[in-house]
Amino acid sequence: RGKLSSGMEKLELSLEPAPKVLPILRSIAPDATLVGFKLEVGLSDDQLVEVARTRLGSGVEDLVVANDLERVTPDDHPAIIIAMKGEPTAFAGQKSDLAAAIFDAVEAARE
């Protein structure tokens, strides 16, 4: 504890994974509509859908928003929104518009 010396030759840091929050939320609020997010690198749309469907198969999330980091830019945040029911929805646009699309998907999932 305290100040670290600036003359240290080596500093080691040990990290532990954070607990998964969505399973905890599902146990607390079983009727809530939960959205999971899956960011991958270098996957095709078909692969993103497959990864998202695997997550949906766990029964924790109601929707998964999957995207590929290589395609995200400051002006464009493409994603695929996958729900338990229906076909995947491809999205291309700004992050704020993606938020609106996710909101619409949540509303549709609750109907």
The verdict on residue 64 lying in a domain is: yes
Domain residues for the domain of 41 are 21-110
Does residue 104 sit within a domain? yes
Three-class DSSP category at 64: strand
Q: Tokens 């996957």 map to which residue?
A: 43
> H helices of the chain, where?
21-28, 45-57, 95-110
Predicted model pTM: 0.83
Average confidence (pLDDT) over 73-79: 94
Task: Give the pLDDT confidence score for residue 8 in this predicted structure.
Answer: 83
**Residue 8, in any domain of the structure:** no
Q: 1-56, pLDDT tens digit by residue?
A: 678 888 888 888 899 999 999 999 999 999 999 999 999 999 999 999 999 999 99
Least confident of 9-13, 65-69, 72-76, 87-91: 9-13
Residue at 16 is within a domain: no
Strand ranges of the sheet holding 89-91, from the earlier edge strand across to the other edge: 35-40, 63-68, 79-83, 89-91
Looking at the 3D structure of the chain, how many domains does it have?
1
Look at residue 45 and tell me if it is in a domain. yes
For residue 55, being part of any structural domain is answered with yes
pLDDT for position 111: 84
Does some domain include residue 13? Answer: no
Strand partners, 64: 36, 82
Q: What CATH number is associated with residue 101? A: 3.40.50.10300
How far is it, in rounded angstroms, from Cα 92 to Cα 79? Answer: 7
3 falls within a domain: no
Cα–Cα distance measured from residue 44 to residue 80, given in angstroms and rounded to the nearest whole number: 11
